[in-house]
């Protein structure tokens, strides 16, 4: 089956629910965005995770997106070693500072429930490609543009 890669970080796809279906093709959403927590409403709820080296991204401090992923990832937290936590579909993944991707939990609820042992549950994911930029990804894949 042929694959079609779609950059979901393009401004025309932001803030809307987008789904693509192309007959006889696998559509792969791509890119990386920051998914922040409302600091005013939730900061107390997420501060306890610092003891597990998990720092959720609050809307009062928005870091730059550090890399570009295939498939699409929503970054939700960082650690002290330069790693990032993100959601691919509903799964929580960990991205090391060496651009390696690991599964951490099947859901955000499971990740939060087992936060103290997240490092012991890392499973390498070879199906996720991590690039330092979209330009680097474009050297290996061709993106398809859709008009909405």
pLDDT per residue as tens digits for the range 86-120? 999 999 999 999 999 999 999 999 999 999 999 99
pTM: 0.88
Predicted confidence band of residue 19 (pLDDT cuts 50, 70, 90):
low
Computed from CA positions of residues 85, 20, 133, 14, in that sequence, does the dihedral angle turn out positive or negative?
A: negative
CA nearest neighbour of 122 among 87, 82, 90, 95:
95
Question: Averaging pLDDT over each range in 1-10, 55-64, 74-83, which range is the top one?
Answer: 74-83
pLDDT per residue as tens digits for the range 29-73? 999 999 877 756 655 666 678 899 999 988 777 889 999 999 999
CA nearest neighbour of 49 among 124, 97, 117:
117
Q: Is 24 exposed, middle or buried (CB count within 10 Å of its CB: 0-12, 13-18, 19+)?
A: exposed
Residues 70 and 128: beta-carbon distance below 8 Å: yes
What pLDDT score does 76 carry? 93
CA nearest neighbour of 31 among 1, 2, 67:
67
Cα–Cα distances (Å) from 100 to 57, 111, 116, 130, in that order, read: 20, 19, 21, 7
């Amino acid at each position: 089956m042929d694959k079609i890669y779609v950059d979901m970080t393009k401004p025309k796809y932001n803030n809307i629910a987008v789904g693509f279906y192309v007959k006889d093709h696998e559509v792969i959403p791509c890119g990386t965005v920051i998914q922040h927590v409302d600091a005013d409403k939730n900061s107390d709820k997420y501060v306890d995770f610092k003891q597990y080296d998990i720092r959720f991204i609050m809307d009062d401090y928005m870091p730059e997106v550090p890399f570009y992923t295939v498939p699409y990832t929503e970054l939700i937290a960082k650690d002290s070693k330069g790693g990032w936590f993100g959601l691919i579909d509903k799964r929580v993944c960990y991205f090391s500072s060496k651009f390696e991707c690991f599964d951490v939990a099947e859901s955000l609820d499971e990740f939060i429930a087992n936060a103290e042992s997240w490092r012991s549950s890392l499973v390498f994911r070879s199906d996720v490609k991590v690039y330092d930029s979209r330009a680097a990804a474009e050297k290996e894949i061709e993106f398809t543009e859709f008009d909405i």
